[in-house]
Chain A
């Protein structure tokens, strides 16, 4: 199985900050990679697919980059609505696997 390692597990930031979350795959997954946002008590929401493609309706302050084994989610200017937990996912092979999550908290 492909292991996905996210860092950091928790991140404290202020509104307006630039935030970067990293995810590393245990083997190359090309760009078969997605990012999700989850708020407490809610279902995950797709943000980014194919490593860098922005899902329709997702604000442009979110961006994804990377390929192979290293991937990054960047929020260019953190907004109050962005405080949530973020998960990475590889879908290059079954079983699909998620990273452990990064909780973005208010500083």
Chain B
């Protein structure tokens, strides 16, 4: 069955960096676009970034543009999110999610999430 497992979350000071990982199994990872979606405590869902199936294109929410970088290693079935210059408002659970196809689209499968807390 499809599994997406996030890791790398934790407590980090404002201005510091963190890299999240998402390891995929149970489907052909290299055939699907992948997303990061986050959820602040007690709040709704916020789309963060998407990467095309082959890594050839990426897009970001304005709130993270220039600070976050999405990437993937198809040889290791792994998605990454490098988060720089972290702010308190970046605190939340970060989910990776697969697209329905090669690029963007609806989110078929989701990981369990990893919690990022930005605090001094």
A61 shortest CB reach to chain B, Å: 21
Is A95 close to B, CB under 8 A?
A: yes
Q: Is B107 part of the contact surface with A, judged by Cβ < 8 Å?
A: yes
Chain B residues, Cβ within 8 Å of A36: 45, 107
Q: Which residues of B contact A38 (CB under 8 A)?
A: 45
Number of interface residues of B (CB under 8 A): 24
For the residues of B in contact with A, the DSSP-based class is: loop
Number of interface residues of A (CB under 8 A): 23
Q: Give the interface SS of chain A, mostly helix, strand, loop or mixed.
A: loop
CB <8 Å contact, A43 and B112? yes
Instruction: Knowing A43-B111, A43-B112, A44-B45, say if A89 contacts B95 (CB, 8 Å).
Output: no
Interface residue ranges of A65-81 to B (CB < 8 Å)? none
